[in-house]
Structure 1
Amino acid sequence: MVPSDDPAATAAPDTPDAPDAPRSGPALREAAESHLRALAGEHARLREDQWTAIAALVEGRRRALVVQRTGWGKSAVYFVATALRRAQGAGPTVIISPLLALMRNQIAAAERAGIRARTVNSSNTAEWDEAYAAIEAGEVDVILVSPERLNSPDFRDRALPRLAAGAGLVVVDEAHCVSDWGHDFRPDYRRIRTLLRELPAGIPVLATTATANARVTRDVAEQLGAGDGEEPLVLRGALDRESLRLAAVELPDGASRWSWLAQYLPELPGSGIIYTLTVAAAEETAAFLAECGYEVRSYTGRTEPEERRRAEEELLGNKVKALVATSALGMGFDKPDLGFVVHMGAPQSPISYYQQVGRAGRGVESAEAILLPGREDREIWAYFAGLSFPAEETVRRALSALREAGGPVSLPRLETEVDLGRSRLEQMLKVLDVDGAVRRVRGGWEATGEPWAYDAERYRAVAAAREREQQAMLDYIGHGGCRMEFLRRQLDDPEAAPCGRCDNCTGRGWSADVDADRRRAAAAHLDRPGVPVAPRRQWPTGMAALGVQASGKIPDGQRAAEGRALARLTDIGWGTALRRLLADGAPDAPVDDTAFKAVVDVLAAWPWERRPVGVVAMPSRTRPAMIADLASRLSRVGRLAPVGTLAYTDPDGPGPRRHNSAQRLASVWKALEVPDQVRGALAALDGPVLLVDDHTDTGWTFAVAARLLKEAGAQEVLPLALASTS
């Protein structure tokens, strides 16, 4: 027997200061087996590759990369090695771990085996000093650190050097994140290369992952060897998951997928995870299944930390049938008896899909992994494709702004200089930090003055690799051969062979038939229109640098009320239609009657304090006919006064669409004006006005327009858009 990645323990390991701790040979192997039994039960035995890795770390003080399937027992390697190293008098193990869910699982596993573990991450900053004191007192065997901490100035400059210098073992979990060729590259992970280069001699290093193809494996191994003369040991095993039964069910639309899920969910074993591609889809799917009587919870990057913990505990305790989740519930979440994973929409790569289905079936003989691809999947992939590394001109502008500042620059201040959204700007700076061109310090970021080259060829190659992965995922959906073999070949598994378990191998797939009543219920839920559009309440920082005299809180007399949109562009219901309606190159034409009726339904369900009495249209260079017609029809149907259309001060309008708050606000601040006829119409109204646009993203166009309208006499402004991107 060998443990899963969350081994159960039945006894405590040796004490850290055992005077007769074995250091080599058969005695070390027996001690390792003893610690494994403490982790995983009396019948547990080490796999040969587990022992090879442990011996290399403990006896050889080497660096090792372990690429093994999920559930193989990678965490057993570093927990057993930790116990052995501590018994030899070495310092604690430092584990760089990507997700809080993974940290909680690992700490629970370690504590059950008597290994004392603490964590340092963004959710427990109040406990950091206590953790450091416990480490210095020798009361901690394992310290888990999130990769983001590696570049927190305080942690990087004060705590990390002490931890690294005194570590008995350094572990890099989910090591594929180190490589930008990997499916889940994270810039924070690339700092690990610097950490490894600066480690004192003799500190062993272990990197683990289940999702690295040959190219990623080579890249990670190369980085793992940074600063060490000896080539790292690479242990790569077969990646079959003998408990998984893979299947795909192609259905015509979102309503059919929802109704299929509601119909067949009771037939899926135990409890599981339902993955979606977007936050909106996770929340909508969870709401629909709850209406159908199922105990489910949504779990996304928008879920509050405490709510996440409760959701994880409910799934671990089988108190819910499923968590409906984005990839926020991904790497490392360990529930050995997880019975199924269903995907409502295909991930962008087979490797990512392999990783996510690997959450199921770790401790049970059979588990279901079912893909329900959507026709809109490629549109959603394209929507998120803009997160690639920025163009060289944009990067150079950021470097120039940092050099010219002569000191730390905050992200909000840098946004006034560089037209990137907050998250993408920060992602770019992290890459530049790893490349040595910038450095994060107290108060923001600063340029280092080191030379830097834009590696356009590599960025293009990575983008091309992402496109190949997407095509491979489409090939998987239509694949007629063994599905597990297909995934294993994507991971360059030399032992890939037909599994004999998937729908194609057995010829027994899931039915695509759905109950007509369930489909009608699903369609009705999907067709419910309307999402809130929160008003902007605070002007961005540093706007004076862009010639905009606005700062602090937006006064009530200038602020829009909460608005509404027909749907989010990422929704699986109306979002699908809106992505096509508002796509680049789509014709400027009135919305069809179905969409217009949905907008009217949004108005009917809007719980405003005062009903609007007039309609104002936003100006547009790309869709003037669509917006003007929508405003006119709403005026007639709702018996609202046609106030008119705002105007641009320049025929070119605000120019190209901007990506962050500061740049967008600056572009629209002086671009809009209220024509005299609109002012006159407002003066005759006693009540709020609707402000109609095609879509809203940053919210600043609505904010500026509302300010102008209220200054021109509007009592209240109610923004209404066809689509929202938030």
Structure 2
Amino acid sequence: MFHDPSPADVPSDALRDEALAALRRLVGRDEAVFHEGQYEAIEALVGRRRRALVVQRTGWGKSAVYFVATRLLRDRGAGPTVLVSPLIALMRDQIEAAARAGVRAVAINSTNAHEWAEVLARLDADEVDVLLVSPERLNNPSFRDEQLPALVRRIGMLVVDEAHCISDWGHDFRPDYRRLRDLIAQMPAGVPVLATTATANSRVVADVVEQLGSQDVTTIRGPLARSSLRLGVLRLPDATARLAWLLSHLDELPGSGIIYTLTVAAAVDTARLLREHGHAVRAYTGQTDADERAESEAMLKRNEVKALVATSALGMGFDKPDLGFVLHLGAPSSPVAYYQQVGRAGRATDSADVVLLPGPEDRDIWHYFATASMPDQERAERVLAALGAAAAPLSTPALEAIVDIRRTPLELLLKVLDVDGAVRRERGGWVATGAPWDYDAERYQRIAAARRAEQDDMLAYESTTGCRMEFLQCRLDDDTAVPCGRCDNCAGPWLSARIERDVTAQAASALDRVGVPIEVRRQWPSGLDRLGVPLTGRIAPGEQALEGRALARLTDLGWGGALRELFAAGAPDQDVPPRLLDACVRVLAEWGWERRPAAVVSVPSRTRPRLVTSLAHGLAQIGRLPYLGDLAADPAAPAGRPDGNSAFRVADVHGRFDASGLALPDGPVLLVDDLADSRWTLTLAARELRRAGAESVLPFALALRA
């Protein structure tokens, strides 16, 4: 049993002395003192067992609050703290920080499954002070049903880190965080709860307070100004100029830092260009291997690289107190998200540079990546109907094959429905609970409108003539905002727009690069039998395509802009522009195939027949190859949806094409399409050509979606 002392058992002077001693052990400095608000939060948690929300700037010391409070609560007989943390990288840093305060912290996450039994045994033996878990872990069936109930009975404190993720008004909403309200309701009375964030406006604060399950919440909110940051915006005409500026001035930026991009392709391409010109940088994206990400983080912390060129995958959880600069090639979609990212810099330095190089394509990219974290009514009803009709739990892949929703949006939708109580995750898959679920269209429309307004705010930040730090503080509803005296508007520009002509040529050459691989599909998706398609397992080698090529990705810095314009919603079908055709010819010239194509065949298109035909015909004419025309297609076949999942995409295309009427020559066939998305259209078209006698098939597309 754990003793739960009443507030009267804890004299305030003694508590402050204990807390200060714990703080000094944590930071390793005998002269350390509390920042304003730190002890007040600790006193609320330990002395009064309150629920508290701390909204303080990055680097203020929010982790010190919960580690010191944990130490004091444990010394008074309380059970372990459960710390809900969004990122594994954040967990690594926090475990190391906790050890300095004499706090034994352990984590349960997807990367350390081999340690779970040991962690649970240590919990049972009361040898753990802090258990770090992800919000997703709270709904893991075995953890939720077997370990969590006992842990809730013993819990000494609940900490919700990066609490803005609770709120669907926040810039980084995560449905799993909404489970915390149910967890709080299950906890014994008097267990303190702490929520922390650096990026919450008043609307998010109100939402988080509601999720904490009590209106009696101590809110400690400090000024968000960062006196060490020097904010500046430099407007340059295009991507070539921005990259040329970076090549010219990267070494002038202080120390080491982060270069943020809006897309994976931009991060990879920018890092490659900088390395080719002698800069020590590494790319860091959500597609980067986990071990490589950890290695890159460590290299930046040791100042072994000038910068990581990163997407938003490098955000919450990364802590380098002396980070010298944060630069953005393209703007995030809201001032709140921007503040969160630039807050990585200048935590323990007197000065750090924050530079924004916005692009005219930013809004298009925001729109392109705008994925609804709120459920779509028609999709939700499909999922609920499928689960309601199932006799047993359905795994996500099995459900995917029934409802025709791609894996990532389906998983997000299931999380939302789960939090709303309409579905439940069990061993073996998902089930419908039978609870009524109503689509709150008005609420979702309000959230979408708020996010559009945030995009407008970001554009206003770029063009404001007032203080930039004050602007960000005001958008975070910080009523202490005053001019900073340091930004380019307050103190005058410090960024030179000068670019050497030869550097511009180098940047233009890098952006003019063409050709990205189209990977080969080698395995049929599961669940095709449910859709009446007799395909399973590996695709027969004699029916596969070779690796293909596309001119570029829609998200690329260079050719992506022209392609996004060509494929924009509502754009007319047209002949392939000569400039794009010339670039495609360059792709073919640089391909390096083992054997040159002997003929060209095009994929029939319902939406852009003129574009595809003109591209195929143009390539054939320039390459002096016979153009055999389109594959024959069944006009009655379903069109398929661009957001459909793999099983449905295959089912839509299977049986649609017929290559038996083509006079196929000896040698490879160049198979031409406009846009490669899931790659299943090219896979099925290549299969028909191979079955009709084609020696091999080389897929080619104008663009890859991502």
Q: Which TM-score band applies after superposition, normalised by the shorter structure?
A: over 0.9
Query: Where does 1:186-585 land on structure 2 (aligned, <5 Å)?
Result: 186-224=174-212, 226=213, 231-585=216-570
Q: Is residue 2:167 matched to residue 1:173? A: no
Query: Where does 1:140-151 land on structure 2 (aligned, <5 Å)?
Result: 140-151=128-139
Which residue of 44, 49, 60 maps to 1:61? 49
* Contact preservation (8 Å) 2:23, 2:101: no
Cα offset for 1:169?
A: 1.3
Name the CA distance, whole Å, in 1 between partners of 2:431 and 2:311.
34
Which residue of 173, 177, 181 maps to 1:185? 173
* Contact preservation (8 Å) 1:646, 1:675: no
Gaps of 5+ in 1: 1-15
CA 1:182 to 1:452, structure 2 compared with 1: closer, same or farther past 3 Å?
Answer: same
Cα offset for 1:636?
A: 2.1
- Which residue of 2 is the match for residue 49 of structure 1? 37
Name the CA distance, whole Å, in 1 between partners of 2:496 and 2:635.
58
Partner SS, residue 514 of structure 1: coil
Which residue of 24, 33, 52 maps to 2:20? 33
Cα offset for 1:656?
A: 4.4
For 1:218-244, what per-residue CA distance to the aligned partner results, in whole angstroms no more than 9, with x for missing partners? Answer: 0000111x2x5x611111111101100
- Which residue of 1 is the match for residue 693 of structure 2? 713
Name the CA distance, whole Å, in 2 between partners of 1:637 and 1:320.
45
For 1:420-479, what per-residue CA distance to the aligned partner results, in whole angstroms no more than 9, with x for missing partners? Answer: 221011000000000000011122211011111111111111111110001111111111
* Contact preservation (8 Å) 1:243, 1:362: yes
- Which residue of 2 is the match for residue 12 of structure 1? none
* Contact preservation (8 Å) 1:412, 1:540: no
Cα offset for 1:675?
A: 5.8
Partner SS, residue 465 of structure 2: coil
Name the CA distance, whole Å, in 2 between partners of 1:169 and 1:299.
34
Q: Is residue 2:112 matched to residue 1:121? A: no
Partner SS, residue 408 of structure 2: helix
* Contact preservation (8 Å) 1:388, 1:463: no
Cα offset for 1:507?
A: 1.5
Name the CA distance, whole Å, in 2 between partners of 1:694 and 1:242.
51
Name the CA distance, whole Å, in 2 between partners of 1:409 and 1:494.
50
* Contact preservation (8 Å) 1:337, 1:364: yes
Which residue of 694, 699, 713 maps to 2:674? 694
Name the CA distance, whole Å, in 2 between partners of 1:134 and 1:285.
46
Partner SS, residue 196 of structure 2: strand
Name the CA distance, whole Å, in 2 between partners of 1:654 and 1:394.
18
Name the CA distance, whole Å, in 1 between partners of 2:74 and 2:638.
67
Name the CA distance, whole Å, in 2 between partners of 1:407 and 1:365.
60
- Which residue of 2 is the match for residue 13 of structure 1? none
Name the CA distance, whole Å, in 2 between partners of 1:262 and 1:322.
13
Which residue of 661, 668, 671 maps to 2:653? 668
Name the CA distance, whole Å, in 2 between partners of 1:258 and 1:696.
28
Gaps of 5+ in 2: none
Larger displacement relative to structure 2 (500-509 or 306-315): 500-509
Partner SS, residue 233 of structure 1: strand
Name the CA distance, whole Å, in 2 between partners of 1:340 and 1:655.
46
CA 1:653 to 1:666, structure 2 compared with 1: closer, same or farther past 3 Å?
Answer: closer
The sequence identity of aligned pairs, in percent, is: 59
* Contact preservation (8 Å) 1:421, 1:660: yes
Cα offset for 1:646?
A: 0.9
- Which residue of 2 is the match for residue 611 of structure 1? 596
Q: TM-score normalised to the size of structure 1?
A: 0.94
Q: TM-score normalised to the size of structure 2?
A: 0.97
Name the CA distance, whole Å, in 2 between partners of 1:382 and 1:321.
31
CA 1:386 to 1:174, structure 2 compared with 1: closer, same or farther past 3 Å?
Answer: closer
Name the CA distance, whole Å, in 2 between partners of 1:149 and 1:490.
33
Name the CA distance, whole Å, in 2 between partners of 1:323 and 1:663.
39
Cα offset for 1:655?
A: 4.8
Q: CA-atom RMSD, angstroms?
A: 1.7
Query: Counterpart of 1:703 in structure 2: which amino acid?
Result: T
- Which residue of 2 is the match for residue 600 of structure 1? 585
Larger displacement relative to structure 2 (521-530 or 642-651): 642-651
Partner SS, residue 482 of structure 2: coil
- Which residue of 2 is the match for residue 86 of structure 1? 74
For 1:51-73, what per-residue CA distance to the aligned partner results, in whole angstroms no more than 9, with x for missing partners? Answer: 11101111111111101111111
Query: Counterpart of 1:47 in structure 2: which amino acid?
Result: H
Partner SS, residue 481 of structure 1: coil
Q: Is residue 2:702 matched to residue 1:722? A: yes
Name the CA distance, whole Å, in 1 between partners of 2:515 and 2:625.
20
Which residue of 612, 629, 632 maps to 1:644? 629
